[in-house]
Amino acid sequence: MKKNQKLTIKEKLKLLVLNGQFTTYDLDGKISPIELSDGPNGIRKGLVEESEQVNIHCYPALSVLGNSWDREVIYNVGEAIASDCIDNNIDIILGPGINIKRTPVCGRNFEYFSEDAYLAGELASEYVSGCQNRGIGTCLKHFAANNREYDRLFRTSEVDLRTFREIYTKAFEMVIQKADPYSIMCSYNPVNGINASENEWLLRGILRRELQYEGVVFSDWGAVHNHALAVKASLDIRCPYSTNSELELKDGIKKGIINEVYIDESVNRILELSDKVEKARKKRSPLDDTDRYNIALRAAESGCVLLKNENGLLPIKAKKITVLGELSESPSYAGGGSAEVVIEKKRIKSLVQCIQEINPETEIYYEKLYSRENCTHRTAGVRVFNEPKGLSLAYDSELTILIVGDTFSEETESMDRTSIKLNAHLEKLICNVAQKTKKLVVVVEAGSAIDMTAWIDKVQAVVYTGFAGEAINEALANILTGKTNPSGRLSETFPRCLEDTPIGGKLENPYADRYKEGVFVGYRHYVTNNVPVLFPFGYGLSYSTFKYSNFNVKEIKKQEYCVSFDVENISNIDGAEVCQLYVDNIDMKVERPRRELRRFDKIYLKSGEKKKVSFHLDKDCFAYFNICYNTWHVDEGRYEIIVAKNVNTDIFMKKIYVKQF
Ligand code: BGC
């Protein structure tokens, strides 16, 4: 829009709501409309007319990207998804989701990176930069404290300020500073009693004043209850179109809730966004289609976690193997709801085909074994076939691979998981197969942590793929055969059972969700309260062995240190290691978690190669959110720096004394 062009009040009010589902108003050609689409792991089919769809890919879910711990891979996924948007005339992708995985029952966990805000913030910044540098805007969601789906429109998240800043808004703060996202979406849930969309403390206070966000805030779809209150809180665009909008806004003006100053603030932000989009359109350049598939593949491989590998069963050495399970031909490549990406069937190859393409001489018996059609929840819907053919072949062969998991109707938006165990029929199936064979690999496709205690000790190897997108089977075949070395690490703890989790399995008060566990979320809870887990945060195996040496901690200046060490791949296979650095505040003046992730890096090492890893620690690595000063604060005292393989396995530790400024 030209700078001096004036808008009437009617036009301004129109701009504050979407024109339909996913487009902003153009005001009769005065401004260029902005096209939005879900995200974040692929363009949501149905938003683009089928006949006009070009190159729509399904990338791994964000939880898989979280398990990759790989900044470069995620930057590339951002670029790839931007390329799909360019081909389909979309300006802003509605993602990434950076809510914290507070409980493994949250139905949308597969849409989120981690239980740790630092990891989520670092990785999401790469996604946003990759996407925006190709000229497509992003929309960080859902601000804030949207950590369950149960009754999400009405159940208030009751969170104290310190927890809010350290756990639930920290990732937003980081992405705003590092990657300047075009937009942010507010959440459905009330926060401390007031709907997020209309919450002045949340939007005007925390997001704009404290986190210094100057871009456009969209509402979640249908999250606005009163448009005037939302504008007052500094929400810019109500989504989708609502017939109530104009009335509510006019009524709000009449009652003095808002005036033209509030309206202009939002209008100016929308006009700025529109200018930004117009400029970006001119410099957009998509990656080619094959590159995008390769990015989807690399991301799926990078996020695949090898959880168990007894006696080096994997990679496959056997010449005669059995593959069991319907999911191996029609895998769970994505979760359900607005992040569901429907792609053409031909894009998904079966696991058998993928293994065969790598090793044509391998003899493979395949049996579907069960059907998950019509399976909508955990206790029903799986039909296990009676015929024993598949099972007897499994006993004959040198290695059996059984693929199990959740479907997109079990892990989906708008409802929580009813359990963190696999469907009872599948658990039984694993135990039955395990009883007869001593070489069983179980592959799990799911969107969040799974309680595997009923069967894990009975099987020899476990691979966790997550909902890994269209390249899931090729990535899995590459990992199983050793063509690719697994390098994923869990970005969320796998507890032994739901009851062990920070909030247990109960809903408690249905109207208010009290975040009583405070900052003790995810590993912060398990480590501090000494709760044993099935697999800790940061855990994952490799076919390589890495040796760490030359640990060194140097004070650079007050509250700043340089930590360095060498990592060497002492095996004969190329691989990647995720180096993790945690900090523990020994002399805590306030209650703090026993350790917190402060730095990490994924490094690729050829067989025999050695690299030096250096981390620069600054005040952020020692700080907590002090509610008296209303800011991040470092207490003077002793801290321990821990370099670790995962949050429970230390390699180097050193105590330092951090001085006050
Ligand atoms: C979801 C958002 C999504 C929007 C648009 C809502 O139900 O919570 O994440 O972007 O729908 O489809």
**Domain limits for position 12:** 3-42+58-281
Q: What pairs with residue 554 in β-bridges? A: 562
Question: Cα 635–598–180 angle (5° rounding)?
Answer: 105
| Residue 214 to residue 493: CA distance in whole angstroms | 34
Q: What are phi and psi of 654, to 5 degrees?
A: -150, 135
Q: How far is the CA of 268 from the centre of ligand 1 (A)?
A: 25
Instruction: Say if residues 42 and 335 touch (Cβ distance below 8 Å).
Output: no
**Is residue 540 situated within a structural domain?**
no
**Is residue 291 situated within a structural domain?**
no
Nearest CA to ligand 1 atom 12: 338
Residue 48 has pLDDT above 80, yes or no: no
Whole-angstrom CA distances from 497 to 306, 420, 450, 532 are 20, 8, 8, 10
Q: Report how many domains make up the chain.
A: 3
Q: How far is the CA of 142 from the centre of ligand 1 (A)?
A: 9
Rg of the chain on CA atoms, in Å: 25
pLDDT tens figures, 406-442: 988 889 999 999 899 999 989 999 999 999 888 999 9
| Residue 179 to residue 126: CA distance in whole angstroms | 8
Distance of CA 545 to the CA centre of its chain: 28
Instruction: Report the pLDDT value the prediction gives residue 380, as an integer from 0 to 100.
Output: 47
Residues 87, 91, 220, 513: which is the catalytic one? 220
Residue 225 has pLDDT above 80, yes or no: yes
Same domain, 614 and 487: no
| Residue 185 to residue 205: CA distance in whole angstroms | 16
Same domain, 622 and 522: no
| Residue 401 to residue 386: CA distance in whole angstroms | 19
For the chain, give the number of residues: 661
Q: How far is the CA of 220 from the centre of ligand 1 (A)?
A: 6
Pocket test for ligand 1, best of 37, 45, 48, 94 (most atoms within 8 A of CB): 94
* Residue of 36, 23, 38, 21 whose CA lies nearest to 339: 38
Look up the pTM and report it.
Answer: 0.97
Instruction: Report the pLDDT value the prediction gives residue 174, as an integer from 0 to 100.
Output: 98
- Percent pLDDT > 70 in the chain is 95
Same domain, 467 and 528: yes
Same domain, 131 and 63: yes
Q: How far is the CA of 146 from the centre of ligand 1 (A)?
A: 12
Compute the average pLDDT of residues 21-45.
Answer: 93
Q: How far is the CA of 58 from the centre of ligand 1 (A)?
A: 17
Instruction: Report the pLDDT value the prediction gives residue 379, as an integer from 0 to 100.
Output: 46
| Residue 402 to residue 394: CA distance in whole angstroms | 9
**Is residue 391 situated within a structural domain?**
yes
Q: How far is the CA of 302 from the centre of ligand 1 (A)?
A: 27
Instruction: Report the pLDDT value the prediction gives residue 375, as an integer from 0 to 100.
Output: 53
Q: Is 91 a catalytic site residue?
A: no
Q: What pairs with residue 216 in β-bridges? A: 183
Instruction: Say if residues 559 and 619 touch (Cβ distance below 8 Å).
Output: yes
Give the other-Cβ count within 10 Å of 421's Cβ. Answer: 18
Nearest CA to ligand 1 atom 2: 220
Closest ligand 1 atom number to CA of residue 240: 5
Closest ligand 1 atom number to CA of residue 95: 10
* Residue of 196, 199, 263 whose CA lies nearest to 223: 196
H or E element at residue 549: strand 546-557
**Is residue 53 situated within a structural domain?**
no
Instruction: Report the pLDDT value the prediction gives residue 162, as an integer from 0 to 100.
Output: 98
User: Mean pLDDT: which of 174-178, 556-560, 656-660 is highest?
Assistant: 174-178
Nearest CA to ligand 1 atom 6: 221
CATH number where 159 lies: 3.20.20.300
Strand runs labelled E in 468-517: 494-495, 512-514
pLDDT tens figures, 384-404: 765 556 677 777 889 999 999
H or E element at residue 504: none
Q: Which residues line ligand 1 (CB under 6 A)?
A: 38, 94, 141, 220-221, 338, 413
Single out the residue in 506, 535, 564 at which a domain terminates. Answer: 535
**Is residue 295 situated within a structural domain?**
no
Closest ligand 1 atom number to CA of residue 139: 10
**Is residue 105 situated within a structural domain?**
yes
Compute the average pLDDT of residues 626-638.
Answer: 97
Nearest CA to ligand 1 atom 4: 221
**Is residue 292 situated within a structural domain?**
no
pLDDT tens figures, 578-616: 999 999 999 999 999 999 999 999 999 999 999 999 999
Whole-angstrom CA distances from 87 to 101, 216, 335, 389 are 33, 24, 24, 47
pLDDT tens figures, 154-193: 999 999 999 999 999 999 999 999 999 999 999 999 999 9
CATH number where 312 lies: 3.40.50.1700
- Percent pLDDT > 90 in the chain is 87
pLDDT tens figures, 336-384: 999 988 888 788 999 999 999 999 999 999 999 888 765 544 444 567 7
Same domain, 313 and 388: yes
Closest ligand 1 atom number to CA of residue 142: 9
The per-residue DSSP string of 605-634 comes to: E-TT-EEEEEEEE-GGGT-EEETTTTEEE-
Helix (H, G, I), strand (E, B) or coil at 585: strand
Instruction: Report the pLDDT value the prediction gives residue 372, as an integer from 0 to 100.
Output: 76
Closest ligand 1 atom number to CA of residue 187: 8
Q: Tokens in use for 519?
A: 């900052």
Single out the residue in 535, 555, 590 at which a domain terminates. Answer: 535
* Residue of 197, 193, 190 whose CA lies nearest to 239: 197
Q: Tokens in use for 96?
A: 């990434």
Look-up of token digits 């009290």:
514
Question: Cα 632–638–639 angle (5° rounding)?
Answer: 65
pLDDT tens figures, 507-525: 677 789 999 999 999 999 9
Instruction: Report the pLDDT value the prediction gives residue 335, as an integer from 0 to 100.
Output: 93
H or E element at residue 261: helix 260-282
Same domain, 505 and 590: no
H or E element at residue 324: strand 320-324
Compute the average pLDDT of residues 76-104.
Answer: 97
* Residue of 37, 136, 41 whose CA lies nearest to 341: 41
| Residue 195 to residue 231: CA distance in whole angstroms | 13
Q: Tokens in use for 389?
A: 């053919």
Instruction: Report the pLDDT value the prediction gives residue 460, as an integer from 0 to 100.
Output: 98
Q: How far is the CA of 223 from the centre of ligand 1 (A)?
A: 10
